[in-house]
Amino acid sequence: MANSRIVEISNLSKSFGSLKVLDNISINIERGENLVVFGRSGTGKSVLLKCTVGLLKPDNGSILINDKDISTISIKELNSVRKNIGFLFQGAALYDSMSVRENLQFPLKRHFDMTQKELDEKTISTLELVSLADSVDKMPSELSGGMRKRIGLARSIITDPQLMLYDEPTTGLDPISSKEISELIINLQKKLNMTSIVVTHDLICAKIIADRVIFLRDGHIAHEGKIDELTQSSDPFLKNFFSQEIINE
Amino acid sequence: MNLPTLIEGRNLSFKDLIHNFLLNISGLTIFNIEFVKQAFKPPFEISEIRKHMDELGVKTFPIVSVMGIIIGLVLAMQSQPVMQRFGATDFLPSMVSLSVVRELGPVLTALIFAGRVSSGIGAELGSMRVTEQIDAMEVSAVNPFKFLVVTRVFATTMILPILTIYVIIIAIFGGYIAVIITENMTFEYYRASVVAAIQFGDLIPGIVKTFVFGYIVGMVGAYKGFTTTGGTEGVGKASTTAVVMASLLILIFDVVLVKVSLWLWPTLG
């Protein structure tokens, strides 16, 4: 029987020089769950995502994705695990030298045996999910910040991943675009039945997306629960953090 | 592939600079070993290599054309009065062609190529690094080293010899223009003198070393770009240091390769 947990992180630690960013963190994520990771800047949220996808090697601990410990497996096995993971980077990380079409077809051409017609059909159908089918032949430099995020999202989901990682998906966007992106993420998650880990500062985004929230502080998980439990917490630090967020909201 | 991390900072001590120099050598060695490991494994990304040959090589033709004509012109113009003093102006075609074939053509083309291409690769890969495009490639289970580095190094290694042969031809033609201005020499005589002067042993070492120079240009640019840190400032540094490092290595390897070619073809001396 398949494990109901898609991600199992145990005792994860990561330091950069003398700075301990993550200290003995353990997180389990159920299939289909949306986990939001909150925390102040520099508390290791992005490092957590990068360790989860094998871009950074943890100092200690294990990260199991679909029961495979990505910190110990070979690069070939890691790549086979990565084929089931999508990652939306903070700046979308679109390949500047390629058109939107080439960006989306880049992973497909390398991992799937598809004809050009099938590639084009898949590209258009994925772009339709983010309402940008008419931008298929544009270059990334011709896109606005919100459009880049949507295209980045389309490129991440085009391989139908089981797990999506979002690094600050709404940073740098106006409140309306932020809300649209957050709604798009939750709609895609429902439509494609994905599991998501979302790193964000954005309370609106978290309220729309989160099934569960963890709050990182000083390299530890300081709080965990539903979003409303955290926003209504009597903890002075959380009160202060979320009051700032509510002002921004 | 674990590459060493250089010491960062604006005011580095002499000790730090030496430390970084040694780290660069170690990093470049690791990068070269990785290239050898990856270069002959499929997929070969032929269309990418072709694209880079066009971007990095074909678009360098205008600048090397100008350089080639000027080398030939200046070389002949400066040598003509001296040779005239010894009544040896008949040897101008041989002198121009041998200088260009043996040394000036390969080295100057490589230096111009390093200035244009090494910095370009350093800046392009550097900006891909700081905007997380290389990470995005890795996350999508594509080997960024193979896709970005191997293809560019292959392209520079293959295109530089072609550029050099072209520069040699253009420079010899430039020499002819200078000669006909001052000397009563027919094109037929000039051409016959050039063909008689250039031996197999002159041409082959000059061309063979451009493969090495092309490899250096691609490899150094890719190394500096791939290991960029520190945002847009880091991209600028990667681009500048790529040109400096590639130019220095070209000159150092030129000395080594001249020595090797003299050992292989003793008649060259």
Query: Which residues, numbered 154 to 193 in chain A, qualify as contacts with chain B under a Cβ-Cβ cut-off of 8 Å?
Result: 155, 159
Instruction: Return the closest-CA partner of residue B189 out of B79, B58, B78, B92.
Output: B92
Distance from CA of B111 to the nearest CA of A (A): 26
Among the partner-chain residues B127, B133, B142, the one whose CB lies closest to the CB of A107 is: B142
pTM of the model: 0.88
pLDDT of residue B262: 84
Distance from CA of B20 to the nearest CA of A (A): 18
Q: B14 pLDDT band (50/70/90 cuts)?
A: confident
Q: Check B141 against A79: CB less than 8 A apart.
A: yes
Nearest CA in chain A to B133: A93
What integer is the mean pLDDT of B214-230? 94
Instruction: Give chain B positions within 8 Å (CB) of A106.
Output: 137, 140, 142
Q: Check A85 against B138: CB less than 8 A apart.
A: no
- Low-confidence winner among A181-185, B64-68, B169-173, B254-258 (lowest mean pLDDT): A181-185
Test the A interface: residue of B45, B139, B145 with most A CBs within 10 Å? B139
Which 8-state DSSP code applies to residue A165? E
Instruction: Give chain A positions within 8 Å (CB) of B138.
Output: 55, 82
Q: Check A91 against B131: CB less than 8 A apart.
A: yes
Mean of the per-residue pLDDT values of chain B? 90
pLDDT of residue B269: 55
Judge whether A15 is closer than 8 Å to chain B, CB to CB.
Answer: no
Distance from CA of B232 to the nearest CA of A (A): 14
Query: Which residues, numbered 51 to 90 in chain A, qualify as contacts with chain B under a Cβ-Cβ cut-off of 8 Å?
Result: 53, 55, 79-80, 82-83, 85, 87, 89-90
How many CB atoms sit inside 10 A of residue B196's CB?
11
Among the partner-chain residues B127, B132, B142, the one whose CB lies closest to the CB of A89 is: B132
Taking only the tens place, the pLDDT of each residue in B184-206 is: 888 889 899 989 988 877 888 88
Query: Which residues, numbered 95 to 114 in chain A, qualify as contacts with chain B under a Cβ-Cβ cut-off of 8 Å?
Result: 95-97, 106-107, 110-111
Instruction: Give chain B positions within 8 Å (CB) of A110.
Output: 43, 140-142
Whether residue A1 has pLDDT greater than 70:
no
Judge whether B233 is closer than 8 Å to chain A, CB to CB.
Answer: no
Whether residue B13 has pLDDT greater than 90:
no
Whether this model's ipTM surpasses 0.85 comes out as: yes
Mean of the per-residue pLDDT values of chain A? 89
Judge whether B54 is closer than 8 Å to chain A, CB to CB.
Answer: no
Whether residue A216 has pLDDT greater than 80:
yes
Q: B118 pLDDT band (50/70/90 cuts)?
A: very high
Backbone CA torsion sign across A135, A139, A142, A144: positive
Judge whether B53 is closer than 8 Å to chain A, CB to CB.
Answer: no
- Low-confidence winner among A39-43, A152-156, B104-108, B226-230 (lowest mean pLDDT): A39-43
Instruction: Give chain A positions within 8 Å (CB) of B139.
Output: 53, 55, 82, 85, 87
Does residue B238 or residue B182 have the better pLDDT? B238
Whether residue A246 has pLDDT greater than 60:
no
Among the partner-chain residues A50, A93, A111, the one whose CB lies closest to the CB of B131 is: A93
Whether residue B267 has pLDDT greater than 70:
no
SS3 per-residue string spanning chain B: CCCCCCCCCCCCCHHHHHHHHHHHHHHHHHHHHHHHHHHCCCCCCHHHHHHHHHHHHHHHHHHHHHHHHHHHHHHHHHHHHHHHHCCCHHHHHHHHHHHHHHHHHHHHHHHHHHHHHHHHHHHHHHHHHHCCHHHHHHHCCCCHHHHHHHHHHHHHHHHHHHHHHHHHHHHHHHHHHHHHHHCCCCHHHHHHHHHHHCCHHHHHHHHHHHHHHHHHHHHHHHHHHHCCCCHHHHHHHHHHHHHHHHHHHHHHHHHHHHHHHHHHCHHHC
Taking only the tens place, the pLDDT of each residue in A59-99 is: 999 999 999 999 899 989 999 999 999 999 998 999 999 99
Taking only the tens place, the pLDDT of each residue in B25-63 is: 899 999 999 999 999 888 888 999 999 999 888 889 999
